[in-house]
Amino acid sequence: MTGAPITIYHWEPNANSGKPMLAAEEKGVAYDSVYLDMLSFDHHKPDYLAVNPSGTIPALKHGQVVLTESTPMMEYIDEMFDGPPLRPADPAGRWRMRMWMRFLDSYMGPSLSMIGWNIGVGPSVRQKDPKELAAAIDRIPLESRRIAWRKAIYNEFSAEELAESRRRLVYSVRLMEEHLSRTPYLAGDSYSLADVDAFNSCYGLPFMLPEAVDDEQTPALMEWLRTIRERPAVAITWAKSRTDRGARLSLLDRPAKGAAL
């Protein structure tokens, strides 16, 4: 959409990239979508580094303003543009929203990322030419990201690291299930940025953690996932997917009436 108010540079509409994309769609804010193929290291190439020298995705450009952290990026979109509010009106609701976003970003998210990189990103790029991969890693601006890419590509996540990530995810899932059994959304009665944040990371849980997430063990979590999956903004956002990650939304399809759970 040429001439849209903002430009969002992103990979797949999941995890960090999906957060500003979905927030913009929920607000009805048109944006120019610039897809960066993370598996081809597009985000470490000169054109994008001129926008975000750290080489992380997503990034949002609004006039001369460039934002590079996905969670405050959502708050910027909600505050800057007209449209349905995505933050609770009351202070307690906003506190719950931010509490859940902090929990997701600092505790649950890194574990989801490790598992996802181990079973998805690493195997997806491992077949490339070894010299090409080594050169691509060397071009990554941030040392922390070079380390993460090396671990994913060369299958260097330890058994202890993966086990701890799975433990954290199981704990997080139980916490969300308990909370969502009492309230329809994370911040309370209304859909908020906390749900946008969490859905983008958690929609793949039935695929990544099938031993802990299903209709029998986590009915409230599954209902929350399905309720958000059915929002029109989600369909529009995930239509921008170019990999099989978008197909994982089908795991959230409601069982046919009369089908055994």
Amino acid at 198: A
- Alpha-carbon distance of 104 to 198, in angstroms, equals 7
Instruction: Tell which CATH classification among 3.30.450.20, 1.20.1050.10, 3.20.20.70, 3.30.1360.30 matches the domain 91-252.
Output: 1.20.1050.10
3-state secondary structure 198-246: HHHHHCCHHHHCCCCCCCCCCHHHHHHHHHHHCCHHHHHHHCCCCCHHH
Hey, where are the domains in the chain? 6-80, 91-252
Look at strands 59-62 and 31-35 and give their pairing: unpaired
Assess whether the previous peptide bond of 88 is cis (omega < 30° from 0).
no
Residue 152: per-residue pLDDT: 84
Q: What is the pLDDT of residues 91-148, one digit of tens each?
A: 999 999 999 999 999 999 999 989 988 887 888 888 888 888 888 889 999 998 898 8
Helix axes 219-229 and 159-180, enclosed angle (nearest 10) = 80
Q: Tell me whether residue 258 is exposed, middle or buried, using C-beta atoms within 10 angstroms of its C-beta: 0 to 12, 13 to 18, 19 or more.
A: exposed
Of 120, 78, 102, 92, nearest to 172 by C-alpha is: 102
What parts of the chain have a pLDDT lower than 70?
Answer: 1-3, 257-261
Residue 251: per-residue pLDDT: 86
**Domain at 6-80: CATH code:** 3.40.30.10
Query: Degrees (nearest 5) of the Cα angle 209, 240, 32?
Result: 130
Model confidence, pTM: 0.91
Q: How far is CA 72 from CA 19, 44, 86, 195, in A?
A: 10, 22, 13, 14
- Alpha-carbon distance of 177 to 153, in angstroms, equals 33
Task: Produce one character per residue of 175-186: b if its CB has 16 or more CB atoms within 10 Å, e if not.
Answer: ebbebbeeeebb
Residue 120: per-residue pLDDT: 79
Give the tokens for residue 116.
């996802």
Q: Are 224 and 184 in contact (CB under 8 A)?
A: yes
Give the tokens for residue 170.
């199981």
Q: What is the DSSP string of 91-121?
A: HHHHHHHHHHHHHIIIIIHHHHHHHHIIIII
Q: Are 55 and 145 in contact (CB under 8 A)?
A: yes
- Alpha-carbon distance of 155 to 95, in angstroms, equals 39
Residue 60's DSSP bridge partners are 8, 67
Residue 25: per-residue pLDDT: 98
